[in-house]
Structure 1
């Protein structure tokens, strides 16, 4: 009896990652490159000038993309496809997070920040998903062979539990890991048999920025990563990346579809009142 293959089988697959230059995105990119994938890394921080190396078939390509712009998303996918072929795995990671959002009580919340967050975190994910699925449809019409055809949406624990002082972030994450995910669950299989869509919802991730924030506010570590978290520690970036790779691999997750995978250390909710507030 032959033993089963425990290979991710991602070698040669074209993986497109939005927000690939971010603190989490960089680690996700590294994991896919290590798995042998051809990676298109999209980020708003990259130059708008097309790098001449994009025409080569190196396994990794950086492409400028503003996910809140329809034209920018379409142009980025065109560059990625002309370089590495049709996008098979799409990781919609780009979003505005707490490092750039202002925190305030809801009564003092900024309407402009709400609109910007919805443009990037919801519309940007929507545009990314649509462009990926359009490419899948075109590949099918042209009779091309694809593998590991799936979309992975990056949500958040905030989409489950809410986020006091940043309702706009919670609203956006619940939209993409809820309504958008459930809608695409029934859509993608109509464009490519066996295509899948799932979401990863991380808890507090142990980035350099989060560590610095905890130094400035020592209570943050306890409140976010211990008080309501069974494993009593923040989530390593590699744990998020490996969950994404698991979902990307048909060999490992071929029948995981329409699911939210919580990578949060057993998060049970949010602390509502601190001792100081109660006092």
Structure 2
């Protein structure tokens, strides 16, 4: 099936690892013109660029306003960005309850995950204003949320709060505002549960973490990056999802919530 993405300029943030790398690769295979963003970890994108001539890489620190502005200027030669995948972010590995959470970590996580996403979306919308009607016809934003944004996550209130804000306040506002610039523009969120990515590798090495992650999950498996990338591509395609906007698609195997208590706690 033709997804209508051939020649469409897609910007994937955080494209050098995990979900982002798999997403960039999938768009390349579908014939999109892909701009793969990275901050410090370029290596995997070098390999990808040697495989696909329709991919370019761009470096930017997305929590820095000037860096985001410069990124959009730098990629202008590839044509106006039509689709943005807001995938970048961090998950601090140390479990710290709110009572002990430092303001420094809270601010750093929200700046890296949430403020940076706002800056990317804002700059995209500014550039979209001057695009042609043909470019605007396929305008779409897909943000990457998390089950933490729905259920919370013990020891990771900073991460959960950043994802919840993206999944609800930011997505729902953007979907109402993008149409004032691009009448057919759409905004959706894909919210994964646990995914086997480098960021989650150390946590998933603990069998107890895996058990607690899958205890309320009917499919009883940890997602692969491709599981998530497939849903991102579907939502970004105006051919498949042209009348879908303001939605949060959970990619978590049917997860029903957190396993909070062990038998010895009861």
For 1:94, which of 68, 80, 88 is the aligned residue? Answer: 88
Aligned to 2:212: 223
Correspondence for 1:3:
none
| Mean Cα deviation higher: 20-29 or 159-168 | 20-29
**Shift of residue 193 of structure 1?**
1.0
Residue 139 of structure 1: SS of its match in structure 2?
A: coil
User: In structure 2, what is the equivalent of residue 72 of structure 1?
Assistant: 67
CA distance, structure 1, for counterparts of residue 39 and residue 247 of structure 2: 28
Query: Which structure 2 segments of 5+ residues have no match?
Result: none
Deviations 1:62-89 (A, max 9, x none): 111111001111111111122x100000
Structure 2 Cα separation of the partners of residues 46 and 137 of structure 1? 32
Runs (5+) with no aligned partner, structure 1? 1-5
- Residue 170 (structure 2) aligns with: 180
Cα deviations by residue, 1:153-196 (Å, 9 ceiling, x for unpaired): 11000000001101010000000111011111110000011000
Partner residue of 2:254 out of 245, 248, 266: 266
Distance 1:77 1:21 in 2: 18
Offset, 1:275: 3.3
TM-score (norm 1): 0.88
Partners of 1:206 and 1:123 lie apart in 2 by 25
Which has the higher Rg, Structure 1 or Structure 2?
1
Deviation at 1:12, TM superposition (A): 0.4
SS in 1 for 2:84: strand
State whether structure 2 residue 110 is matched by structure 1 residue 122: no
Asked whether the 8 Å contact 1:200–1:260 carries over to 2, the reply is yes
The alpha-carbon deviation at position 207 of structure 1 amounts to 2.4
Root mean square deviation, CA, Å: 2.0
* C-alpha separation in 1, matches of 2:135 and 2:90: 35
Q: How many residues align?
A: 259
- Tell me the equivalent position of 2:55: 60
State how far apart, in whole Å, the 2-side matches of 1:46 and 1:73 are. Answer: 17
Matches within 5 A, 1:144-163: 145-163=135-153
Pick which of 238-247 and 105-114 moved more.
105-114
The Cα offsets for residues 96-134 of structure 1, whole Å up to 9 and x where unpaired, read as 12xx44321221112101001111111101001111111
What is the CA–CA distance in structure 2 between the aligned matches of 1:249 and 1:13, rounded to whole Å?
Answer: 10
C-alpha separation in 1, matches of 2:223 and 2:154: 21
CA distance in 2, matches of 1:146, 1:138: 9
